[in-house]
Amino acid sequence: MITFMNNSDSEEEPCNERTSLMSAESPPVPSYQDGLQASEAGEAQAHRKRRAGSSRSPNSVTGGETSGSGVPVRESAPESEEEELTLKYGAKHVIMLFVPVTLCMIVVVATIKSVRFYTEKNGQLIYTPFSEDTPSVGQRLLNSVLNTIVMISVIIVMTVFLVLLYKYRCYKFIHGWLILSSLMLLFLFTYIYLGEVLKTYNVAMDYPTLFIVIWNFGAVGMICIHWKGPLQLQQAYLIMISALMALVFIKYLPEWSAWVILGAISIYDLMAVLCPKGPLRMLVETAQERNEPIFPALIYSSAMMWTVGMAKPDTAARGPSQQTWNAAEDGREHLRSPSHAESQMSEARSPVPTRPVTSLEELDEEERGVKLGLGDFIFYSVLVGKAAATASGDWNTTLACFVAILIGLCLTLLLLAVFKKALPALPISITFGLIFYFSTDNLVRPFMDTLASHQLYI
């Protein structure tokens, strides 16, 4: 889900800010088991595009950032100014998301293509109990649909459970769950991954070295993700755990089930985020009511975050900048509830605490980032990874899915700029990805192969 960050009472505020940001709550992505539901829980959250009034960095020239996104939106006059500033920064945000998504996909595809382990069939998860080894096509289809139903129901149950936990303020439980899941990801899955990579390249490593490496990796990861750390290190860790999770899915989901699950989960994402009674939407609204930040460790953020320690400027003086500042916190820490935020200090970096207001606004632009839930990373990578694993050794399919996902992401961010409310990030990208996968694999591949065998170019 891509959402905007919002201050609870900002809904009514007129044109000034980017108040349309909703506090993006992304339910935490618990352990990999719940990773499923966690995934949709942690859907994308986009940072709100700031419309800091000061940012009139025009289209000019310099440095080139801030150019609006590709396709403009003609809106009604009163909103046009907000639109304008929003779209100005749209392009930069899109790129800030392109890069990590691309990196995650590259890691997954590189692993799939080189390490045999992740393409070997070695059992299935308990969430997909039906086997696909049946002789008839109809039976196989039926089994994959049943698998999908089981998986999606598990996801729904977990999400609802999470929403209930959140509603009844069982924060400790949620935190414990989150920590447990990231522990498992960072230690166990990394150990397995490292083991397989070493096996593939026939590199010998003794246990003490392995222990030290994994210990350091995991410990630093836990600190970076759940507490404080350099932004880029945190981003790198989040990308790595998304890739690891995606690899697990690619390995353990049987083929047809994987595609049906991808389709079903984008529909689920659409409904959970947009329907009034959807669990994710309720979560967002509850968090908004309470003015609370989102759970850490489930969101990829591309900008630095301000710590709670920053002095709270007086609200009266800075209408817009307050908004932007809040946005900068990205919902993790809300200015209004510093105590709460403290307990959930996530990857906040501590920027220079004393900045004059105006420069804060200007800085915000550069530093304001976009957020995307890790679940989206995971499912994008699952799609591309599955394409790489099962498309008969064809690179064209992988590349086509990659472009499709990027375009879907671009369109989703555009819609986000238009609608300014929580949006699911999966549907458009996954739809494009699925269409391109099946059509490229079945139609384009024979065509291009025939052309290549005669060395023909079109």
Partner 1 sequence: VFLGCAAIAFGPAAALVLLTVAAEPLRVIVLVAGAFFWLLSLLAASLLWFVSVQLSGREDAALLLLGAAAAVLLQELCRFACFKMLKKADEGLATLSEDGQSPISLRQMAYVSGLSFGIVSGVFSITNTLADSAGPGTVGIHGDSPYYFITSAFLTMALVLLHTFWGIIFFDACERRHAGGLGLVVGSHLLTSGLTFLNPWYEATLGPIFILTLCTGLWAFGTAGGSFHNVLKCLSCKQEPEGQVMLYSALQVPPEE
Q: Which residues bind partner 1 (CB under 8 A)?
A: 53-54, 56, 58-60, 64-74, 80, 83-84, 87-88, 91-92, 94-95, 98, 393-396, 399-400, 403-404, 406-407, 410, 436, 439-440, 442-444, 446-452, 454-458
Query: What's the residue count for the chain?
Result: 458
Residue 319 CB, nearest distance to partner 1 (Å)? 14
Q: Please give the Cα distance from 381 to 242 (Å, whole number).
A: 8
Residue 60 CB, nearest distance to partner 1 (Å)? 7
Residue type, 299: I
Residue 71 CB, nearest distance to partner 1 (Å)? 5
Does residue 43 contact residue 269 with C-beta atoms inside 8 Å? Answer: yes
Residue 80 CB, nearest distance to partner 1 (Å)? 7
> For tokens 């968090």, what's the residue?
287
Which CB atom, from 220 or from 399, has the smaller least distance to partner 1?
Answer: 399
Residue 320 CB, nearest distance to partner 1 (Å)? 11
Which CB atom, from 26 or from 397, has the smaller least distance to partner 1?
Answer: 397
Residue 52 CB, nearest distance to partner 1 (Å)? 10
Does residue 153 contact residue 274 with C-beta atoms inside 8 Å? Answer: no
Alpha helices, DSSP H only, in 21-170?
A: 32-41, 77-114, 137-167
DSSP per-residue codes, 295-361? PTTSEEE-S----TTS----TTT-HHHHHHHHHHHTTTS-TT-HHHHHHT--S-----S---HHHHH
- The residue annotated as part of the active site, out of 330, 364, 376, 394, is 376
Contacts 24+ apart (CB under 8 A), 441-446: 441/387, 441/391, 441/392, 441/394, 441/397, 444/396, 444/397, 444/400, 445/391, 445/392, 445/394, 445/396, 445/397
Query: Catalytic residue at 376?
Result: yes
Which CB atom, from 77 or from 204, has the smaller least distance to partner 1?
Answer: 77
Return the HEC string of 68-105. CCCCCCCCCHHHHHHHHHHHHHHHHHHHHHHHHHHHHH
As a 3-state breakdown, the chain gives helix, strand, coil percent values, each rounded to 5, of 65, 0, 35
> For tokens 């999908």, what's the residue?
148
Beta-bridge partners for 423: 2
Q: Please give the Cα distance from 266 to 259 (Å, whole number).
A: 11
Residue 87 CB, nearest distance to partner 1 (Å)? 6
Collapse the DSSP code of 60 into the 3-class scheme (helix H, G, I; strand E, B; otherwise coil) and give the result. Answer: coil
Q: Please give the Cα distance from 63 to 284 (Å, whole number).
A: 36
Residue 445 CB, nearest distance to partner 1 (Å)? 8
Residue 76 CB: number of other CB atoms within 10 A? Answer: 7
Backbone torsions φ then ψ of 275, nearest 5 degrees: -70, 145
- The residue annotated as part of the active site, out of 34, 269, 330, 441, is 269
Q: Please give the Cα distance from 266 to 297 (Å, whole number).
A: 22
Q: What does the block give as tokens for 153?
A: 């129901």
Which CB atom, from 9 or from 65, has the smaller least distance to partner 1?
Answer: 65
Query: Catalytic residue at 314?
Result: no
Which CB atom, from 333 or from 367, has the smaller least distance to partner 1?
Answer: 367
Give me the active site residues, please: 269, 376
